[in-house]
Chains A and B, each alone.
Chain A
Amino acid sequence: MDLLLWGVLPYVMVAILIGGSIWRYRYDQFGWTTRSSQLYESRLLRIGSPIFHFGLLAVIAGHFFGLVIPMAWTLAVGMSQDFYHLNALLVGGVAGVGTLGGILILIYRRRKTGPVFMATTRNDKVMYVVLTAAIVLGLWTTLASVFEGEHGHNYRETVAPWFRSLFILQPDITAMAAAPFSFHIHTLVGMLLFSIWPFTRLVHAFTAPLHYLFRPYIVYRTRDKVPGAVRPIRRGWAPIGTEDRTRDKK
């Protein structure tokens, strides 16, 4: 069982994530978008979305520190375990709570604003459930370690080594199996999230437009070689009406 969960599943997840993203990138450029809903509603979005995203970026950075950088390194540069822990709790806690608050605002907005709710597909709903679950469970692991205090579980001795071992294709299954249940379930939901990632709107994160900082302002491009009049009909040409708003709820 442990072998399956911590030895096989991670690789399945990575395969789906990478394979799925490549597939989507090649065959669904047109669907690769944030599907912004700011046109419908701006006030709540302008509160919720930045809180959520900035919180999330901090959380991602936190995961990087916690999982990728071995404990020995931080100790070596003189960072005591307690200091590290306190930091992780404070920064991670704040970021986590921010992310959760942000996403709650966004979900509230989605449900309560008529047009935004109409534009929410089934795919979005599944994504929200998994994403929120991952965030809540992540916060739970953090909070749990607060209440357990000194005797709390040090994931940097279990989860982190396992995580790093995945990359050298020798998964340290025993280490992960030793972690408490809260970590197990958070990791599993996280893997689920990454598996559905390529098939949801979350792909927008993969094309974060950092190259904007470097590209010239004005873009010239030569015309397509195929004259416009004979190009085949493409997506985005759905007819107008009230029914089209319900038809393609995927």
Chain B
Amino acid sequence: MRVMAQMGMVMNLDKCIGCHTCSVTCKQAWTNRAGTEYVWFNNVETRPGQGYPRRYEDQEKWRGGWKLNKKGRLALKSGGRVAKLLGLFASPVQPELKDYYEPWTYDYKTLIDAPLGDDFPVARPKSLITGKDTKITWSANWDDDLGGAPEMGHLDPIVEKVRRESEDKIKFAFEQTFMFYLPRICEHCLNPSCMASCPSGAIYKRVEDGIVLVDQDKCRGWRQCITGCPYKKIYFNHKTGKAEKCTFCYPRVEIGLPTVCSETCVGRLRYLGLFLYDADRVTDAAAVTDEKDLYESQMDVLLDPFDPAVAAAASAQGIPDDWIDAARRSPVYALAKVYKVALPLHPEYRTMPMVWYVPPLSPIVDLLSDQGHDAEDSGTLFGAIDALRIPVEYLAELFTAGDTDRITAVLRKLAAMRAYMRGITLGQEADVDIPASVGMSPESMYEMYRLMAIAKYEERYVIPKAHVEQAHDLEEMGCSVDFEGGPGMYEDSPFGEASGRPTPVAVENFYALKDRQTSDTASGAATLRNRVNLLNWDGNGAPAGLFPETRDVPRAAAASPADLHGPVSDSGTGAGTGDGDSAGTP
């Protein structure tokens, strides 16, 4: 047993409102640069829909991921090592820009510079690739909210597959349609095929936390990884000639902060935490013959952090104690392995993805309530899950390699939780038959509800800090590590605030944001050191220094906004009571 730690994410799809906040904040943080205009490390696609890049799930065309060769061993779908080298000069299958979309901007300048005339000046769209006028024909979420589904819905590879296999057709007629949002980032797979495809060996998995990164210095632009990744979550920066991918916001995660997409998620549907897994078993687990067994084998690779043998092995492998502890509190482990409601996306690609999804019950609930049924009743819901084959089959193609039994089991759990909690919320006697009908105890069902509905910031994001003790030894870095957490951070230097080396603004923002998200009061003077950083000001109260001091309002009073504006604690916390609402009514 070789125990390794892996940062993982779970997304609860029922709560996603498709607002694209995660995509936009991610883009601002990471791909807001020349050469990555078309790149969305995080994108949110409406399903059914073609996805981004278009039809990326059609692996007969794109040849991403792994397959089993004749001997039953894992082989890259895009070909062996020799074939890859021979195909290096021009990749046989690589998405072009038109498969993503041609990024554009607008010629805003003419709005200001246009000479006086009779016509209104217009900002015309300009291609960011050629700089010329362009016609906008597609984008990363062109088919958002089923836009164009009657004409283009059949282009979704999964719709195609489900249609081929069942007599019922997925219809895009208004009354029968269903939809949900699927936010996607890199899966930080345990068995990544991007890495295996890289001729230079520039893509690596970090030993400490399993984050998959591209070494920008080692990458030589052979662009095989782009073909290799079945999720098409590795991109070619056409300006630098290097591959780039989601970084799991490692600079943030290293200091204990959630990724940008999680931090800013409006639905608060993302969970971050650790998995412990057995690295020795990964290859075998990815090579089971029947695709439908891949989910089980992936679960087997995940280790139980409460098992003393696992903890001992983890310690022996050098995993620090606070990490093992974090693995025990990990919400992603709980959702994936304890409650078994989170499923991997496309396990059949055999990459062992580590971003998991709680499948949405909403397609079924929506159809039920549209037909005037009580969508909170466990009997009605169970019946509907069995009857509404099309949404279930569709979800099964996404999350369980087509195994509808497994997806049904998960959906029933979610339905049971919904019905059970409605009873309790309405003040009725708790109906213990409901949890029992899905094989759960009332307590564990309540715990699951708590985690999925009202978990606070610290419960949703259990991120142990990276151990950078060694960095102290490095002469140059001695100073910057002072920015790490701990009581000493932001200490004023002996020669006054502005002396010494400046705190990088990013670090200051990290801590101020964290403080804001986790404290019960408005961001205090403590993190801002009596200065006002408007970037961090959360709008609550009036921090000292925002306005010039006057005699009438002494400084001390202004520093305590509660006195001026009444209680501010609710809006000041990261997880307010609002979460409770979104649990049952996505």
Hey, which bits of chain A sit against chain B, CB under 8 A?
Answer: 29-30, 32-42, 45-46, 48-50, 52-54, 114-115, 118-119, 204, 207, 209-213, 215, 217-223, 225-231, 234-246
Is the Cβ of A212 less than 8 Å from the Cβ of B131?
no
Question: Could you give, for residues 63-93 of chain B, a 1 whenever the CB lies within 8 Å of some chain A CB and a 0 otherwise?
Answer: 0000000000000000001101100111110
- A225–B242 Cα distance when bound, in Å, is 23
Asked if A219 and B204 make an inter-chain contact with CB atoms under 8 angstroms apart, the answer reads: yes
B132 at the A interface (CB under 8 A): yes
Interface residue? B582 (CB, 8 A): no
A and B contact pairs by CB, cutoff 8 A, 28 listed: A30-B242, A32-B217, A32-B220, A33-B241, A33-B242, A35-B221, A36-B223, A38-B91, A39-B96, A53-B89, A204-B221, A207-B200, A209-B85, A217-B195, A219-B205, A220-B206, A223-B254, A225-B470, A225-B477, A226-B477, A227-B468, A227-B471, A230-B480, A235-B240, A240-B34, A240-B128, A241-B128, A245-B131
Give the residue of A40, A212, A222, A240 whose beta carbon is less than 8 angstroms from that of B84.
Answer: A212
The segment from B142-150, B167-175, B503-511 found at the interface with A is B503-511
Contact of A38 among B94, B127, B207, B217 (CB under 8 A): B94
The answer for the CA separation of A41 and B94 in the assembled complex, in Å, is: 10
- Residue pair B82, A213 in contact (C-beta under 8 Å): yes
Q: With a CB–CB cut-off of 8 A, which chain B residues contact A210? A: 85
Q: Chain A residues with Cβ under 8 A from B219's Cβ?
A: 33
In the bound complex, CA of A221 to CA of B206 (Å): 5
Task: Tell me if B560 counts as interface (CB < 8 A to partner A).
Answer: no
Do the beta carbons of A244 and B34 come within 8 Å of each other? yes
The answer to whether A45 touches B90, judged by C-beta atoms less than 8 angstroms apart, is: yes
Cβ contacts under 8 Å, B484 to chain A: 227
B192 interfacial by beta-carbon distance below 8 Å: yes
A212-B90 contact in complex given A227-B471, A246-B131, C-beta closer than 8 Å: no
Given contacts A38-B96, A236-B237, contact A209 B199 (CB under 8 A): yes
Distance A47 CA – B136 CA, assembled complex (angstroms): 29
The answer on a CB contact under 8 Å between A119 and B238 is yes
Q: In B204-232, which residues have CB < 8 Å from any A CB?
A: 204-209, 216-223
- With A41-B96, A211-B201, A238-B239 already in contact, the answer to whether A118 and B254 are too (CB < 8 A) is no
| CA of A45 to CA of B90, assembled, Å | 6
* Distance to closest chain A CB from B401 (angstroms): 22
Nearest B-chain residue to A217, judged by Cβ: B196
How many angstroms between the C-alpha atoms of A148 and B223 in the bound complex? 46
User: With a CB–CB cut-off of 8 A, which chain A residues contact B128?
Assistant: 240-242, 245
B236 lies within 8 A of chain A by Cβ: yes
A35 engages B207 (CB within 8 Å) = no
> Given A42-B96, A115-B130, A223-B208, A218–B192 Cβ distance below 8 Å?
yes
> Which 9 pairs from chain A and chain B are nearest by CB?
A228-B251, A209-B199, A33-B221, A29-B217, A33-B241, A35-B241, A217-B196, A221-B204, A230-B480
Within 8 A of A (CB), among B124-163: 126-132
- Taken together as a complex, chains A and B put the C-alpha atoms of A220 and B215 apart, in Å, by 12
What band does the interface of chain B fall in when counting residues whose beta carbon is under 8 Å from A?
35 or more
Cβ contact within 8 Å between B92 and A46: yes
Nearest neighbor of A204 in chain B, beta-carbon distance: B220
A49 touching B89, Cβ below 8 Å: yes
Given A38-B96, A39-B238, does the pair A229, B207 have CB atoms closer than 8 Å? Answer: no
Contact A212 B199 (CB under 8 A): yes
Contact B240 A239, beta carbon cutoff 8 Å? no
Neighbouring A residues of B91 by C-beta, 8 Å = 38
Q: Which residue in A35, A207, A229, A238 is a CB contact (below 8 Å) of B33?
A: A238
Query: What's the minimum C-beta distance from A32 to chain B, rounded to whole angstroms?
Result: 6
CA separation between A187 and B497, bound complex, in Å?
66
Say whether B85 contacts A229, CB under 8 Å. no
Most interface-central of B82, B94, B192, B474 (chain A CB within 10 A): B94
**B37 near A: Cβ within 8 Å?**
yes
Query: Chain A residues near B254 (CB, 8 Å)?
Result: 223, 227-229
Q: Is B259 an interface residue (CB 8 A)?
A: no
- Residues of chain A contacted by B126 (CB below 8 angstroms): 242
Q: Which residues from chain B sit less than 8 Å from chain A, CB to CB?
A: 32-37, 81-82, 84-85, 88-92, 94-97, 105, 126-132, 191-192, 195-196, 198-201, 203-209, 216-223, 236-242, 250-252, 254-255, 282, 466, 468, 470-471, 474, 477, 480-481, 483-484, 504, 506-507, 510
Pair A114/B130 contact, Cβ less than 8 Å? yes
A116 to B: closest C-beta gap in Å: 10
Contacts of B88 in A (CB 8 A): 209
Known contacts A115-B129, A118-B130: A212-B85 contact under CB 8 Å: yes
Alpha-carbon distance between A172 and B84 when the two chains are bound, in angstroms = 43
CB distance from B445 to the nearest CB of A (A): 38
Q: Considering the chains assembled together, what is the distance between the CA atoms of A115 and B103 in angstroms?
A: 12
Given contacts A212-B81, A240-B37, contact A30 B238 (CB under 8 A): no
- A40-B129, A220-B207, A227-B481 are known contacts; what are 15 more A-B pairs with Cβ within 8 Å? A34-B220, A40-B97, A48-B90, A118-B130, A209-B220, A213-B81, A215-B201, A221-B205, A222-B207, A228-B251, A229-B255, A230-B477, A230-B507, A242-B105, A244-B34
The complex places the Cα of A65 from the Cα of B206 at a distance, in Å, of: 46
Least Cβ–Cβ distance between A165 and chain B, in angstroms: 35
**Bound state CA distance, A227 and B82, in angstroms?**
38
Q: How far is the CA of A228 from the CA of B238 in the complex (A)?
A: 24
Which residue of B has the minimal Cβ distance to A42?
B96
Among candidates B90, B250, B510, residue contacting A42 with C-beta atoms closer than 8 Å: B90
Determine whether the beta carbon of B483 is less than 8 Å from that of A209: no
In the assembled complex, the Cα of A239 lies from the Cα of B34 at a distance in Å of: 5
Q: Which residues of B contact A217 (CB under 8 A)?
A: 195-196
Interface contact A237-B33, CB-CB below 8 Å: yes
Taking CB atoms, residues of chain B closer than 8 Å to A34 are 220-223, 241
Flag if B205 contacts A220 (CB, 8 Å): yes
Task: Give Cα A29 to B128, complex, Å.
Answer: 27
Contact A30 B240 (CB under 8 A): yes
Do residues B483 and A218 form an inter-chain contact, with CB atoms below 8 A? Answer: no
Nearest CB in chain B: distance from A206 CB, A: 10
Which one, B206, B216, B474, contacts A223 given CB within 8 A? Answer: B206
- Residues in A with CB closer than 8 Å to B191 are 218
Q: Inside 8 A of B84's CB, which chain A residues have their CB?
A: 212
Bound CA span A114–B97, Å: 13
B504 touches A230 (CB 8 A): yes
In whole angstroms, what is the CA distance A244 to B471 when docked?
37
Q: Which residues of B contact A245 (CB under 8 A)?
A: 34, 128-131
Determine which of A215, A229, A236 lies in contact with B251 in the assembled complex, contact meaning CB atoms within 8 Å.
Answer: A229
